[in-house]
Structure 1
């Protein structure tokens, strides 16, 4: 990999853990610990993204080499690099969890390519000082989900980490999928993921909680220097601008989540990136039927803290924790509070524009609020597939009657026999208002449909699709991984040859493990 240009700024400029033993412990006065990946017995490359590889400086031909496999399975250390795990804390499900850190992620290196910097990180590469009671490994099913989803999100236009490679380790990993006392051995796997960095809200929380204010200042200034160099001014002003920038980027990320119906499932502060990108794909999911109360996480099934409709509020809560972590450097609450107070208002303002765009309404009208709230309510009267509903809405024309318009979205209903009496009447009333509103749009039907189809995806990585790929991969058939990978590179295109994936969740997937809700077990 001759063009892989190593530039390890993070480890060169920030304080390292002086204890080089790979023992589970509390790690203080540092932001990372050096640790090597656990060697694997018989690694095998399942899939790799040529685009992401080239983005970081690896050619298509080099992907097929033994060197690539050995480096990205953790068996070889790339020259002039020293792998490390990061120290951070976090609030999990609203509760302070103390030290967390990279328990099963190991950063291989930082590279520079085409004037951009990337951190390459293995997930599932073995124990680190932050692994707590775990083994630091990952299994095939969760690795497939992470690998595919990161790339799917990128092509949807959602800020995210990227995936370079997916490899089997050749080793067996013991996991209790449902946390019900029935552990079983599964195939181990490793994903290499890419981001500008993996610095999290919890990275700053850890330092403030331990009163390591010198390191806090160093990490904030390192982050501004390398990732937000446009921020200028006196130090205090820079810290406030930094918080504002992270809040803005976080808001943009959540807007895209809501736009495509993505539910993260584990929005702990240690899973929030200071780059405003989606990280840590655990028990995520896309809304099948439009249900703002849905969460894909079994651990969250009672309180539903991380449900779809609550993601903006959780983002604000997490930013509040980041503000607390930055406060010792700012020593003034008012500017941080001002940013926090405006977060939800700014979100709601922007989301209204996005929601109207999903409806093909690109001008403003006094009827818009009624149209939005009315639709959000009516979508929940009977199970209605979010992706299919919004995609098919673009087929409606200004000349359509209420009846013909309704027929164009019928396919999105899971239980069509429920669409009668009061529910049918509600839909007819909404379409009457919507069709009248369409008349005020200046775009032609064709122009409007084109714009709507650039906002409303036709294909998303539904849980049942990922599970089919996992089931096939368990039998050493990796063709479906590639089929979905290629499909999801163009989620807004019609792709008539792939029409079978433009489908509601099948009945067999309604309660199947991995298709409805998932645990954090991976």
Structure 2
């Protein structure tokens, strides 16, 4: 397909044109009651340079990779606007760590508008780190290279894993430092600034509706709901109380599918506030995220959450339900009886269970021969993995490679299990692997019931179990190299993450366990919301 520079692409602005907004352009931090957004332009930066570009996403959007020092790079840095753009920052609220936080909004993100993709769909381009908006509170609206590399890489890595997600188009440095206190401990320091161009059909969140309901702005609430229905759920029909109910059920279904995918790959979002929940069921706002390395359902990478572990890996399905309940409360003025929204929560629970079951069957190379037995096998696996220090990603990948040998084994299963555990475990104290070994015996017996050939089972499992995920220590290595001016680690990691199910034997170092030096290193084991 032909591509064009970003500065030559026509932008569309339905969110601005169809909803009520504040038009002053004032970037000063303040409350903005009565509006869905504020019109505000990005703040220019001194020396923008492009560090990374998603060729595949760019091609899908009909966009050519920008030339150095081009108008397109200036646009991606917020230094240039075209006549068709109507940039804005959205107003929303949310519950943060379970507490109502009031007005939040796009404090460091500014949307440029929508562009058409090659398939006719429309995608919003948003600059994260583009400067202050009315919703920045006491912050500067900027982002550092550290967090921007993480957001760029993870947005695309999740897409290639098959997880519902927002995308990232580009990563641009600004030429200006940003002062950040990484762990909020009084050690603020300058860091290089950067801007990520994020892409999604929309960035509307649960919190957009919550702020309207909290302030009794029912006209804005209804207008926003109708906008989302028209543009993103047109198959549900014209807005009405009954359609609002069906829409909530679909949001719940999509949210369940997203969370089930998180759980299947060992992803921990880290900050599942209601303002970080997409109305489209997409993973949004990549901040203090991480992947399970030693399997631990109580693990969270977010230092802010160490006290309660509200957003730990094993809590994510429950938190998503809680967030959906908050959304239902916000949408209740639109329906005749708030109880009509209750079945949507059942849809969430049922979809989550069914999707997780299906995803883990694929990971284990099983088909639906024994629903009850398979369910028990799947439900017992987390406890078996948690007792020893098992790397979840490596465990499933090695299990795929081992499947043919397990099928052919005649009495040497224990030796095969030892081989698997040697590759997947960080350390195993005496007798800590007994539960997992017992589980592996059950699994082997079940696997032998499958009608497919050993090689077919192995290949199917390899396509369901990635070899490569964006481990925090890998991201940190790429960040440190980029800060020193070396983009090769970033480029290599990005390219490998595009095909995470392939072997890439030349990049075995990117598939290894977390090294000892990364166990407690900031950015590898612990992160904060600081950006």
Whether the 8 Å CA contact 2:261–2:356 is kept in 1: the answer is no
Alignment of structure 1 residues 334-345 onto 2, 5 Å: 334-345=339-350
Alignment of structure 1 residues 82-161 onto 2, 5 Å: 82-114=86-118, 115-161=120-166
Q: Displacement of 1:306 after TM fit?
A: 0.5
CA distance in 2, matches of 1:282, 1:184: 19
Alignment of structure 1 residues 338-487 onto 2, 5 Å: 338-365=343-370, 366-395=372-401, 396-397=403-404, 398-400=407-409, 401-416=412-427, 418=429, 420=430, 422-487=431-496
Whether the 8 Å CA contact 2:77–2:174 is kept in 1: the answer is yes
Gaps of 5+ in 2: none
Whether the 8 Å CA contact 1:285–1:463 is kept in 2: the answer is yes
1:317 partnered with 2:326? no
Name the SS of the counterpart of 2:356 in structure 1: helix
Q: 2:47 aligns with which of 36, 42, 51?
A: 42
CA distance in 2, matches of 1:413, 1:53: 37
Whether the 8 Å CA contact 1:392–1:408 is kept in 2: the answer is no
Q: Displacement of 1:3 after TM fit?
A: 5.4
Q: Displacement of 1:234 after TM fit?
A: 6.0
Q: Displacement of 1:428 after TM fit?
A: 3.2
Name the SS of the counterpart of 2:80 in structure 1: coil
Whether the 8 Å CA contact 2:51–2:173 is kept in 1: the answer is yes
Deviates more, 1:19-28 or 1:248-257: 19-28
Cα RMSD of the aligned pairs, angstroms, is 1.5
Name the SS of the counterpart of 2:79 in structure 1: coil
Deviations, residues 285-342 of structure 1 (Å, cap 9, x unaligned):
0111111111110000110010111111111111111111110010312221121134
CA distance in 2, matches of 1:480, 1:319: 39
Whether the 8 Å CA contact 1:3–1:58 is kept in 2: the answer is no
Q: 1:178 aligns with which of 172, 180, 183?
A: 183
Whether the 8 Å CA contact 2:294–2:426 is kept in 1: the answer is no
Whether the 8 Å CA contact 1:271–1:279 is kept in 2: the answer is yes
Whether the 8 Å CA contact 2:257–2:351 is kept in 1: the answer is no
Deviations, residues 467-509 of structure 1 (Å, cap 9, x unaligned):
0001111111111111011000000111111111111000000
Whether the 8 Å CA contact 1:402–1:428 is kept in 2: the answer is no
Q: 2:514 aligns with which of 490, 502, 505?
A: 505
CA distance in 2, matches of 1:122, 1:145: 15
CA distance in 2, matches of 1:259, 1:428: 21
**Which residue does the alignment assign to 1:166?**
171
Deviations, residues 118-162 of structure 1 (Å, cap 9, x unaligned):
110000010000000111000010000000000000100111111
Q: Displacement of 1:368 after TM fit?
A: 2.2
Deviates more, 1:366-375 or 1:185-194: 366-375
CA distance in 2, matches of 1:442, 1:474: 52
CA distance in 1, matches of 2:433, 2:517: 27
Deviations, residues 391-423 of structure 1 (Å, cap 9, x unaligned):
1111222112322430341244444452x3x33
Name the SS of the counterpart of 2:21 in structure 1: coil
The two structures have a TM-score, normalised by structure 1, of 0.97
**Which residue does the alignment assign to 1:248?**
253
Q: 1:65 to 1:18 in 2, by over 3 A?
A: closer
1:220 partnered with 2:214? no
Whether the 8 Å CA contact 2:387–2:433 is kept in 1: the answer is no
Name the SS of the counterpart of 1:388 in structure 2: helix
Deviates more, 1:344-353 or 1:66-75: 344-353
Q: Displacement of 1:242 after TM fit?
A: 1.1
CA distance in 2, matches of 1:368, 1:346: 17
Q: 1:357 to 1:26 in 2, by over 3 A?
A: same
Q: Displacement of 1:99 after TM fit?
A: 0.3
The two structures have a TM-score, normalised by structure 2, of 0.95
Name the SS of the counterpart of 2:50 in structure 1: strand
CA distance in 1, matches of 2:496, 2:516: 23
Q: Displacement of 1:440 after TM fit?
A: 0.9
CA distance in 1, matches of 2:67, 2:227: 32
Q: Displacement of 1:36 after TM fit?
A: 0.9
**Which residue does the alignment assign to 2:528?**
519
Name the SS of the counterpart of 2:525 in structure 1: coil
Name the SS of the counterpart of 2:408 in structure 1: coil
Name the SS of the counterpart of 2:442 in structure 1: helix
Deviations, residues 436-456 of structure 1 (Å, cap 9, x unaligned):
111111111111111111111
Q: Displacement of 1:195 after TM fit?
A: 0.4
Q: 2:499 aligns with which of 490, 493, 513?
A: 490
**Which residue does the alignment assign to 2:272?**
267
Deviates more, 1:204-213 or 1:400-409: 400-409
